[in-house]
Structures are given as C-alpha cells and as structure tokens.
Amino acid sequence: MVLLHPDERSEEGRMSTVTVDSRPAPQLSRNLTNARLPKWAPAGVAVLSVALGAAIGAGGGLKSHLQWGLIAAVLFLVISYGVSAKVEGRRQAKDRLATSVVWVAFVAAVLPLASLTIYTVQQGAKVVDGNFLSHSMRNIIPSGPGGGIYHAIIGTLEQVGLATAMAAPIGLLTAVYLVEYGRGRLAKAVTFFVDVMTGVPSIVAGLFVLSVWNLALGFQYSGFSGSLALAILMLPVVVRSTEEMLKLVPNELREASYALGVPKWKTILQIVIPTAIGGITTGVMLAVARITGETAPVMMLVFGADAINTDPFNGPQANLPLFIWQQYANVNNDFGYARAWGAALVLIVFVMGLNLIARGIARWRSPKAGH
C-alpha cells in the first residue's frame, strides 16, 4: 500500500490508513468540525462596524446620519463575511452573511418607523393641549399661531361614523352570503371582486363618488359625499375579515341548530353571528382605523372648512387628515406645520387606539377553530 500524504487521500483512503497508521483520534475530530467563531462574534462585529461607521461619518464630515448608518451596515456585512470566511470556511461564511443581512433588514425596518413615531410624538406634543382640542380655526389667521382641530375631529367622527353605518351592514351581509349561501359563479365573482376592490386606490374611489354624486346627481360638497367614498374603501375590508371569522365558526354548531329545527336564517342570526361577533367587531374596527386616515377622497369631496359644521349633509366640513394636508400645503409655514403635527399626533393616537382595542377584542373572544 502506497502511503499518500494525509491531505491527498480520499475519504475512504483515510479511513483505511487510520487503522494502518493508528493515527491519534484528535486529528479525526478536527476534520469533522471546523473551527467556529465564538458566540459573541456577531455582536462584536456589529459594535465594531457601528463604531467605524460613526468614525468615518464624523471624520468625513457627513451630515446625514442615514449615511453613517449605511456605512455601518455595509461594514457589518463585509467584516462578518470576511472574518467567517477566514476562520470557518465559505459555506459557513455565506450562512453568516445571510444572517447578517436578515438582521440588517430588521434594523433597517425599525429605524425609519421608530423615527416616524418619535418625531410625530415630539412635534405633536408641543402643540396638543386643551385649547387645541376644543377650538376650531374660525377667525384664526391661517398663517398665524393659535387655533385648533375641534371642527376636524367632529368632521372625522361624523364622516367615519356614516361610512361605517353604510359599509358595515352591507359588508356583513355580503360575507354571510359568501360563507353561508355562496355557491356557483356569482359567489366566485363576488369573492374575486372583493379582493380586487381592496386594491382600488382611494383617489379613484373619490373620483367615482365625485362623478356620480356631485356631477351626475348634482349634490354639493358635504361630509356625506366623503363618507360615500370612505364606505367604498371600507366595504371590501369588512367583507374579507368577516368572511374569515364566519369560516371559523364550527360546523357542528350549525348542524346542532338545524337538527333542532331552527331555520337557516335564524341559525345565522342567533348562532353563527353571535359566535363570531368578537372577530367581526375586530374586523370592522380595523377597517374604521384604515378609513380614518384616508386623505385623498376626503380632499375632493368634503372640501374643508375652518368653522365647526356639525351637519354632515349640508355644506363643507373639516376632517383630520384633510386638516393636516391643508395646514401643510396651503399654510406652509411653521405655525401651519405645528398644527399639522398636532393633528397628526391626535390622528395616530386615535388610529392606534382603535387597532389596539380591536386586537384586544380579537384575543379576548375569537371563535376557536374546531375543538
């Protein structure tokens, strides 16, 4: 048997020579596991690259912290790949690179979102007080200080309320149709178009209501025409979530009800819907949260007003998102920005509050699938 240099041997050859040469075991185990980086290596590399990024950024006189961050991210990826490739081999290095990329993606997502929240709260908290919440913009010079969003809050509540009053029952009935009755082509078409309707841009919904309600039927700007557009945007969201919830209601409940001779419509009204009511409420509230922040359709249909108008059917109204837009675009100075931030904070708190409550309800009484 020709003795080859250990490195040149095939796997099989090595096995046989081990017995012949009776080489010591430790060498074998070294072949089986590569050298590994210590557990703290990724964290160490992260700290190092952030420090380097900051140093390069500060040294190079880069003003924007976005650049600092980008430099740090690239350094992090390069260093962790390089170190790992040197110590652990290329496959492991690729694995580490992928892990690093995923972590960088996580940080890249958190940072702008955190910045958005913190900035809004910071700017908004300076403005929001009792006076801001309880006064309108009436007799306030737009380019000057003062004023408030009371009229906009009223407008938003009324318009969203009306939209919900229209969209929630229709959406609920549509979902009942799809889950309890829906067979055949009509149901298929409805399902497909509910999905497609979810993607209708809000500005298109606004244009549609404008062309029908205001141009063809000749109505004036009012809170109600805004609610019509909002209802169109809300409808598919309600249908979709209600449908999911009704599907979760166990069939045994329906069958038990039929077995007792209860007609189908009563079964639906008294058994199916009450069982799923928690989830349905959640869906409706999430939909309300979504349309509360819509600006585009409201911009065209509600028109905006400085004074309090409590009648959504007559005359222009204000609305929170619209108020923010007008303070930014029409006033366009620091007083306008301040009011816009105040309104933005109130809007975010309202929408987030709705979301949290809705998800709370969902957790509290969602129907359990099966047993």
Partner 1 sequence: MTSSPPTATRGRDRRRSDSRRGDAVFFNLSRGAGILLLVVMAAIAGFLAWRSGLALGKNQGNFLTTFEWDPDNITKPVFGVAVLAFGTVVSAVIAMAIAVPVAIGIALFISHYAPKKIAQPFAYLVDLLAAVPSIVYGLWGVLWLVPHMAGLTSWMDTYLGWTYVFDQTQAGVTPRNLFTVGVLLAIMILPIITAVTREVFRQVPRTHEEAALALGATRWEMVRTAVIPFGKPGIISASMLGLGRALGETVAVATVLSPNSKLSLHVLDLGSGTFAQNIALKFGEASSFGRDALMASGLVLFVITLLVNGAARLIIARRKEYSGANA
Scanning residues 270 to 299, which ones bind partner 1 (CB under 8 A)? Answer: 286, 289-290, 292-296, 299
Give the whole-angstrom CA distance, residue 80 versus residue 76: 6
Smallest distance, Å, CB 286 to partner 1? 8
142 contributes a contact to partner 1 by CB under 8 A: no
Write each residue from 244 to 273 as x if it is in contact with partner 1 (CB under 8 A), else as -, in one continuous string.
x--xx--------------xxxx-xx----
Q: How many CB atoms lie within 10 A of CB 258?
A: 13
Tell me which stretch binds partner 1 (CB under 8 A): 74-82, 99-107, 219-227, 251-259: 99-107
Give the whole-angstrom CA distance, residue 242 versus residue 284: 8
182 contributes a contact to partner 1 by CB under 8 A: yes
Smallest distance, Å, CB 11 to partner 1? 14
- Per CB under 8 A, contacts with partner 1 among 161-180 are 169-171, 173-174, 176-178, 180
What is the torsional sign of CA 231, 235, 236, 241? positive
Tell me which stretch binds partner 1 (CB under 8 A): 72-80, 130-138, 232-240, 249-257: 232-240
Tell me which stretch binds partner 1 (CB under 8 A): 26-34, 137-145, 306-314, 339-347: 339-347
Q: In this complex, which beta carbon is closest to partner 1, that of residue 21 or of residue 195?
A: 195
Q: How many CB atoms lie within 10 A of CB 142?
A: 16
Residue 168 one-letter amino acid: A
Contacts of 364 (CB under 8 A, 6+ apart): 278
- Out of 115, 143, 310, 333, point to the residue binding partner 1 (CB under 8 A): 115
Write each residue from 52 to 81 as x if it is in contact with partner 1 (CB under 8 A), else as -, in one continuous string.
----------xxxxxx--x-----------
- DSSP secondary structure string for all residues of 148-200: -SHHHHHHHHHHHHHHHHHHHHHHHHHHHIIIII--HHHHHHHHHHHHHHHTS
- Out of 50, 190, 253, 271, point to the residue binding partner 1 (CB under 8 A): 190
Nearest to 187 by CA among 198, 176, 200: 176
Smallest distance, Å, CB 27 to partner 1? 21
Burial of 44-60, coded b for 16+ CB within 10 Å and e otherwise, reads ebbebbbeebeeebeee
Contact 101, 77 (CB under 8 A): yes
207 contributes a contact to partner 1 by CB under 8 A: yes
Q: In this complex, which beta carbon is closest to partner 1, that of residue 17 or of residue 70?
A: 70
Burial of 92-118, coded b for 16+ CB within 10 Å and e otherwise, reads bbeebbeebeebbeeeeeeeeeeeeee
- Out of 4, 74, 215, 256, point to the residue binding partner 1 (CB under 8 A): 215
Q: In this complex, which beta carbon is closest to partner 1, that of residue 19 or of residue 251?
A: 251
Q: In this complex, which beta carbon is closest to partner 1, that of residue 137 or of residue 246?
A: 246
Residue 226 one-letter amino acid: G
Give the whole-angstrom CA distance, residue 231 versus residue 233: 5
Q: In this complex, which beta carbon is closest to partner 1, that of residue 17 or of residue 79?
A: 79
Smallest distance, Å, CB 115 to partner 1? 7
- Out of 35, 74, 212, 307, point to the residue binding partner 1 (CB under 8 A): 212
Nearest to 233 by CA among 158, 297, 320: 297
Smallest distance, Å, CB 232 to partner 1? 6
Please return the burial class of 339, using the count of CB atoms within 10 Å of its CB with bins 0-12, 13-18 and 19+.
Answer: buried
Q: In this complex, which beta carbon is closest to partner 1, that of residue 4 or of residue 173?
A: 173
152 contributes a contact to partner 1 by CB under 8 A: no
- Per CB under 8 A, contacts with partner 1 among 4-33 are none
50 contributes a contact to partner 1 by CB under 8 A: no
